[in-house]
């Protein structure tokens, strides 16, 4: 597995660099995704170690992190956007790219299927139903690792004074107010419909509500230690109902952070 993993890293590095261009606006997006790939890969390795996975499964976790957003680069080349709704599902596109890579067939069939399942479900609102506990474990790991780094990516652009500095593909929504459907989702402590986003405030609430979809205590503690939750809350309006939602969320986060990740709970 070590040789295959090295081959994959070499290929992915060259693949990402193949999208380099003199167009600085395009390069801004490519650099963000290139850096994101590295962070998510690192988070997957760290989480796999935290869970006590063996060397084989740690390698699979690393592969998932490495390739989870491989579709983003072709997506940006074809559509000049990272918005799936305006182009195509980047996880589906990632699976298409992986299907074209001969070294994926060097993996055992069950391992390749596991990698494809996790990547195919890393960006969905919910993981597709399955009775395969290994598939669920790795899909949950990848979703956590991805969210952990997306908090980092978005953190500099939360404050209204820096909103204009955001890359073009992040722009488009200006109002900092939170519309009623997202206020209610926060108060009720549940996920919201992404398609209902109307303001930049709504978008920030969605990021905040991700905590209810964090699977591992390790991930939650990592989010808290980096101050991401407090930064999002600070960047939102503070009406009475929103304050109720913030307190409910903080209580949930504290409870999750106090848990211990036991691999048997996910098997």
- Per DSSP, 170 falls in state G
Task: Report the percent of the chain where pLDDT is more than 70.
Answer: 94
How far apart CA 118 and CA 203 sit, in angstroms, is 25
Q: Concatenate the DSSP letters of all residues of 190-232 into one string.
A: ----GGG--SHHHHHHHHHHGGGG---HHHHHHHHHTTHHHHH
pLDDT of residue 16: 97
* 153 neighbors 36 (Cβ within 8 angstroms): yes
How far apart CA 97 and CA 134 sit, in angstroms, is 23
- Token output for 55: 């060397």
Handedness of CA 255, 258, 261, 264 (dihedral sign): negative
pLDDT of residue 163: 52
In the chain, count of helices (H) and strands (E)?
12, 0
How far apart CA 83 and CA 197 sit, in angstroms, is 13
108: left (phi over 0), alpha (psi -120 to 50) or beta: beta
Q: At what angle do helices 217-225 and 240-257 cross, to 10 degrees?
A: 120
**Region 78-102 average pLDDT:** 93
Tens of pLDDT along 2-45? 899 999 999 999 999 999 999 998 898 899 999 999 999 999 99
The CA angle 172-177-178, to the nearest 5 degrees, is 100
Domains of the chain: 2-151 (1.10.3210.10), 173-263 (no CATH)
Question: Residue 98 pLDDT > 60, yes or no?
Answer: yes
In the block, tokens 């067939």 appear at 105
Cβ-count burial of 266 within 10 angstroms (0-12 exposed, 13-18 middle, 19+ buried)? middle
Greater pLDDT, 191 or 52: 52
pLDDT band at 81 (very low <50, low <70, confident <90, very high): confident
pLDDT band at 250 (very low <50, low <70, confident <90, very high): very high
Question: Residue 207 pLDDT > 70, yes or no?
Answer: yes
Q: Is the pTM of this model over 0.85?
A: yes
**Region 73-78 average pLDDT:** 91
Tens of pLDDT along 108-164? 999 999 999 999 999 998 999 999 999 999 999 999 999 999 999 999 888 655 455
Question: Residue 165 pLDDT > 70, yes or no?
Answer: no
Cβ-count burial of 172 within 10 angstroms (0-12 exposed, 13-18 middle, 19+ buried)? exposed
How far apart CA 28 and CA 167 sit, in angstroms, is 7
pLDDT of residue 172: 54
pLDDT of residue 77: 86
Task: Report the percent of the chain where pLDDT is more than 90.
Answer: 78
pLDDT band at 167 (very low <50, low <70, confident <90, very high): low
How far apart CA 136 and CA 127 sit, in angstroms, is 8
Beta carbons within 8 Å of 47's beta carbon, 6+ residues apart: 61, 141, 144, 145, 216, 218, 219
């Amino acid at each position: 597995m070590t040789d295959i993993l090295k081959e994959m890293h070499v290929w992915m590095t060259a693949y990402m660099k193949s999208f380099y261009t003199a167009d600085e606006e395009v390069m801004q997006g490519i650099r963000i995704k290139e850096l994101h790939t590295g962070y998510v890969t690192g988070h997957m390795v760290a989480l796999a170690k935290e869970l006590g996975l063996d060397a084989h499964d740690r390698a699979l976790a690393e592969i998932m992190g490495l390739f989870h957003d491989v579709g983003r680069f072709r997506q940006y080349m074809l559509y000049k956007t990272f918005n799936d709704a305006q182009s195509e599902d980047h996880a589906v596109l990632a699976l298409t790219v992986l299907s074209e890579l001969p070294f994926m067939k060097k993996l055992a069939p069950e391992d390749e299927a596991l990698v494809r399942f996790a990547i195919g479900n890393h960006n969905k609102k919910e993981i597709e139903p399955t009775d395969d506990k290994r598939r669920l474990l790795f899909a949950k790991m990848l979703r956590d690792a991805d969210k952990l780094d997306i908090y980092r990516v978005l953190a500099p652009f939360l404050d209204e004074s820096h909103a204009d500095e955001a890359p073009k593909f992040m722009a488009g929504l200006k109002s900092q107010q939170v519309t009623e459907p997202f206020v209610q989702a926060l108060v009720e402590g549940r996920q919201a419909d992404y398609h209902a986003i109307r303001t930049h405030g709504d978008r920030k609430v969605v990021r905040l509500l991700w905590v209810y979809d964090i699977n591992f205590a390790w991930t939650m503690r990592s989010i808290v230690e980096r101050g991401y939750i407090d930064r999002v809350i600070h960047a939102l309006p503070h009406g009475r109902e929103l304050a109720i939602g913030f307190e409910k969320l903080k209580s949930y986060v504290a409870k999750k952070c106090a848990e211990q990740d036991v691999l048997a709970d996910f098997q």
